[in-house]
Structure 1
Amino acid sequence: MSTITDVARVAGVSVATVSRALRGLDRVSPQTRRRVLEVAEQLHYVASPTATSLASGRTRVVAVVAPFLTRWFFATLVSAIEKELRAHGHHVILFDLEDDTYDQRLPLTQNMLWKRVDGVISLNVPMTDDEVALIDRLGLPLVAIGSAVPGRPCVRIDDRATMRTAVEHLIDLGHRRIGYIGDVPRNVAHVETPQTRLTAFRETMEAAGLPVVEDWVLGSDWTAEAAAADSARLLCTDHRPTAIVAASDEMAIGVRESARRLDLEVPRDLSVIGIDDYVLSEVLGLTTVRQDVAEQGREASRLLLRALSDPADTSGPSDLVMPTVLVVRDSTGPAPA
């Protein structure tokens, strides 16, 4: 069986460099890392995970904590995070905090994390004080995506500016009767983003001098199926908006389907805009405000890898705000006369 010395000799580097390359540390050039990995594979060299963990005090595993794993947004983040960490010799363990009910989630516990992971990436999870204290007690670096965790780096979009872009697009098209879908009860597990987007909708309408009709502010659990059902009652009445802003593309797709079932033509009778640029949005011609979800996952992974490589390095951004951009497609048009 090949040894680490064999790998170093064939690769033409020191044993220490081989060790750093296989452990994914930053003090190795990309070219050298690739060479070491190629030689290790050719020689069928496999480092003992137990020995590596004992020697370094590291598990080379990162916890990814999400309120849902079945939704497109979270699945896209997890995929990007896993690929980025894998490229640096780390692996992912997923903790799905989804409970049986939409308005609750499971807590993060010591048994999930202790001696199992080197760090944590949270996906739009508003952490409780007890959970933050637990992570502090375990000495784990944490990077948040979406919902910020006090004192930790966060990768996010500006939800207020993103919603403002969506509403102002409709206003620029001449719409004055604008509805909204995406309100949630205040006790749901991932309440921060829904609240922020709804607040921004109200603020943008007020700034434009337009009334918010409360009957046109619709609740939904942020799925296409729910949004189709939740919007049907409003769309079948004569007193309906000429446009609807959905807090996510999945809900926008649901609203569009509901309109189709009621023989309303989009965008002639009803304009619909969402947020995200969901995987089917381009195919369906949905106007949206695009965010690069995968890049958020990659950036969060890089921040965590930096913290793992050098805990004393505080030069990285504490609040990384990613850009969003309006993508105009077929689902929005001028307000009907």
Structure 2
Amino acid sequence: MVSLEEVARRANVSTATVSRALSGRGRISDATRERVRDAADAMGYVVSASASSLASGRTQNIGVLVPLLDKWFFAMVLSGIANHLAPRGYDITLYNVTDDPEQRRRLFSSSLRRRRVDGLVALSVDLDADDVAHLQDLGLPVVGLGAPGPGLAALRVDDVAVARTATEHLLELGHREIAHIGLDKEAGDEHDIPTLRTRGFEATLAEAGLEPAGFEPADFTIDEGHRAARKLLQGERRPTAIFAASDELAFGALFAARELGLDVPRDLSIVGVDGHEMSEFFGLTTVAQFPHDQGERAGDAILALVETGSLPDDASLPDDASLPFELIVRTTTGPAPR
């Protein structure tokens, strides 16, 4: 195993200079830093994580709290976070946060208190005041992404505006019988993403003097979108358009429509949310929210807090919504049937 001293001899510098060059801390010329790194790469030298942690007081590790590990959206956000952190020498530890009170208690009171990370990103996790208090007691920087907890610095999309954009698109096409498939959240959970999307949908229709042609609650899966759409389309008031709160729900609605002999978009228009990688394949009109870019922004924000103690200039606060989104019109939406 190559030692620090061997790298120093090859680069013709002191061991202290090698340490500064490879850790990124301390003043050193760019030419010397490059020479040291070239020597380390040529010799296959890898900085010891434990030694670096002892010297710096940091673990070079960022924790990510995530509610689901098997969803495309979360995988893309995690990819963006890793893409930003890895070149800067940071690893990621995932913490799955479920709705089980006992699991959450163990996580916040035990696992996170082992101090194995330098900071935390809370990815679309519903955090109540007690959860946030536990996180603040850790003394670690925390950035929320998506649905923030009370008092957390956060990056998020304006989900009310996302729903407005999708619904206005359908209204502009002449649709007046528009239904919604979303997640049925408990009363009082007013700041979570699905509730905000439902609120934006209903408000946009109300401003047009309309009422929803139906609402069917569903988890964000293709199977649930299929079930929900069949129920709406076989009801007494059949919609001419469906706004689905996620692309996976919209995919299910597409399958249901075709099973029932409906042409999309001649008989039924469908619009989703996310910009799923399969949405172009299905020709799905969607409001893309660029999850990989969201992950990179979150990675940038948490590193800024860890290394400087302040957020970058383009990071927003809890009540702001700064992340971009875009309506992408494809072949699943068209003029309302005559």
232-241 or 74-83: bigger deviation: 232-241
* Alpha carbons of structure 1 residues 201 and 190: separation in structure 2 relative to 1, 3 Å: closer
Partner in structure 2 of residue 244 of structure 1 = 242
What SS class does the counterpart of residue 125 from structure 2 fall into? coil
Q: In the alignment, is residue 289 of structure 1 matched against residue 287 of structure 2?
A: yes
Aligned mates of 2:153, 2:160 — CA distance in 1: 20
Contact between 2:81 and 2:295, CA under 8 Å: does it hold in 1? yes
Structure 1 partner of 2:55: 55
Q: Over residues 166-223 of structure 1, what are the superposed CA-to-partner deviations in whole Å (9 max), with x where a residue is unaligned?
A: 000000000011000003131799970011000111110011111224xx11100111
CA shift digits 1:16-43 (9 cap, x unpaired): 5643553456988999877654432321
Q: Tell me which residue corresponds to 1:95.
A: 95
Moved more, 204-213 or 108-117: 108-117
- Write out aligned runs for 1:112-261 (5 A): 112-113=111-112, 114-186=114-186, 192-213=192-213, 216-237=214-235, 239-261=237-259
C-alpha separation between the residues in 2 aligned to 1:30 and 1:180?
A: 57
CA contact (8 A) 2:190 2:196 kept: no
In the TM superposition, what is the alpha-carbon distance from 1:47 to its structure 2 partner?
Answer: 2.6
What whole-Å deviation, never above 9, does each CA across 1:123-178 have from its counterpart, x for those lacking one?
01122222222222221001111012344331211111111110000000000110
Distance 1:290 1:21, change over 3 A: farther
TM-score of the superposition, structure 2-length normalised? 0.88
Q: Which range moved further: 183-192 or 217-226? A: 183-192
* Structure 1 counterpart of 2:276: 278
Other-structure match for 2:324? 323
Partner of 1:110: 109
Alignment of 1:68-87 (within 5 A): 68-87=68-87
Distance in 2 (CA, whole Å) between partners of 1:321 and 1:259 is 35
Contact map agreement 2:300 2:312 (CA 8 A) in 1: no
SS in 1 for 2:156: strand
Distance apart, 1:81 and its partner CA: 1.0
Answer whether contact 1:77 1:294 (CA < 8 A) is retained: yes
Instruction: Tell me if structure 2 keeps the 8 A contact 1:152–1:318.
Output: no
Structure 2: runs of 5+ lacking an equivalent: none
Q: CA–CA distance in 2 between the matches of 1:249 and 1:15? A: 54
In structure 1, what is the Cα distance between the partners aligned to 2:190 and 2:3?
A: 48
**Does structure 1 retain, via aligned residues, the 8 Å contact 2:179–2:239?**
yes
| Secondary structure of 1:185's aligned partner | coil
> SS of the residue aligned with 1:109?
helix
Tell which deviates more after alignment, 64-73 or 315-324: 315-324
* Conserved 8 A contact 2:59-2:117: yes
- Partners of 1:104 and 1:189 within 8 A in 2: no
Q: Partner of 2:242: helix, strand, or coil?
A: strand
Letter of the 1:174 partner, please give it.
G
> TM-score normalised to the size of structure 1?
0.89
Q: What's the CA shift string for 1:225-250, capped at 9, x where partnerless?
A: 11101221221245201000001111
2 CA distance for matches of 1:28 and 1:186?
A: 56
More moved, 192-201 vs 51-60 = 51-60
Seen in structure 2, the aligned counterparts of structure 1 residues 187 and 239 have a Cα distance that, compared at 3 Å, is: closer
Deviation at 1:296, TM superposition (A): 0.6
CA RMSD of aligned residues (A): 2.9
Is the alpha carbon distance of 1:17 and 1:323 closer, same or farther for their aligned partners in structure 2, counting shifts above 3 Å?
Answer: farther
The answer (yes or no) to whether the contact 1:104–1:187 under 8 Å persists in 2 is: no
**For residues 73 and 188 of structure 1, what CA distance do their matches in structure 2 show?**
25
Does the CA contact (< 8 Å) of 2:97 and 2:125 recur in 1? no
Letter in 1 for 2:78: V
Match of 1:144, SS state, is strand
Is 2:309 the partner of 1:311? yes
